[in-house]
Amino acid sequence: MSDLGTMTSGEAEAGEDRPAAPGRRIRRARGLPGGRAVVGALLISAAAVGVFAAFLTATAEPRSSYAVAVTDIEIGTRLDVDAPVAELFEFVPMDLPDGLTARAVSDLQSPQLAGQLVTSPVGEGDLLLASAIVDDARVPATEKLSFALPATDAVGGALQPGERIDVLATYGSGSDAWTAFVVRGVLLVDQQHAAGGVGASGDVTLTVAVSSLRDVQALGHAVRAADVFVTRSTVGEGADDAAPDAFMPSRDAAGPRPDPAQDPVGQGAPDDVDPPEDEDEGDGDAADDEDADEDEDQGD
């Protein structure tokens, strides 16, 4: 029997299977997030809030409704007189840009549409703007008159309803022909191109609104008795609105001013400069003086 009391420590370790003591690990203490991480988190949160707000705005119902035409409306239509407002417009909920909100007619203004006159063409699906209507009481009664012209005599057929035009007529023929303004600044209500004649080669039918009975007579007479052509009017654009007298060419009439493009000074030839004297005439005068001197010498 072994004496346990006399066993050495080496023997004891050899006789026992003891597990090795685990090693000690040193770990770094966890700190707070850095500044970049905090800023990144804030940006992500702000973006998420913005996306959510945009989603709510996009899905929210519009707060106002605006008048939209359900059919084509001609210039000169008197609302609730020629046709009820309810048959011409419907009020559609929509959000408009700030600049357009003040110009569009909202449902709050619908009671004021009765008695308004349409002064600009409004097509089906168009938003009704306040600039396209005016109080009927402010507009004199007008008569509509239509006449056909070759497109070449009507600004190439490029006129648009709502424009104002001048009508001119040429009476007579040959050297006896003369041209005069018939009416100025009349409102073009409609323009229709002949079937298959769209463009400068076809005919167009113009419908104008004329407020003066005298102008109706003059225009009707010109259409039937003269060669008529129209131009875009300058009435109301700061130009001289007074029409000139009738024009009739004359051989003795002064021609137009020089073309500024060919006149580098832009003033034309001065009117108060006398033409230069003929050099030959000057030489002749000198010769006469010499002959007179010779005669005096011979007389002496």
Q: Can you list the domains of the chain with their CATH numbers? A: 65-138 (3.90.1210.10), 143-232 (no CATH)
CA-nearest of 115, 132, 124, 109 to 79 is 115
Residues 240-296 have pLDDT tens digits of 567 888 888 877 777 666 666 665 554 444 454 455 555 454 455 555 555 555 555
Question: Is the pLDDT assigned to residue 207 strictly greater than 50?
Answer: yes
Measured distance CA(139)–CA(189) in Å, rounded: 15
Between the CA atoms of 215, 219, 221 and 227, what dihedral angle is there, to the nearest 10 degrees? 150
Indicate the pLDDT class of residue 129, thresholds 50, 70 and 90: very high
| Single pTM value for the model | 0.52
Tokens 């007479």, residue located: 221
Indicate the pLDDT class of residue 143, thresholds 50, 70 and 90: confident
Question: Is the pLDDT assigned to residue 40 strictly greater than 80?
Answer: no
Measured distance CA(282)–CA(277) in Å, rounded: 7
% of the chain with per-residue pLDDT over 70: 65
Question: Is the pLDDT assigned to residue 159 strictly greater than 70?
Answer: yes
Q: Which is more confident, 79 or 34?
A: 79
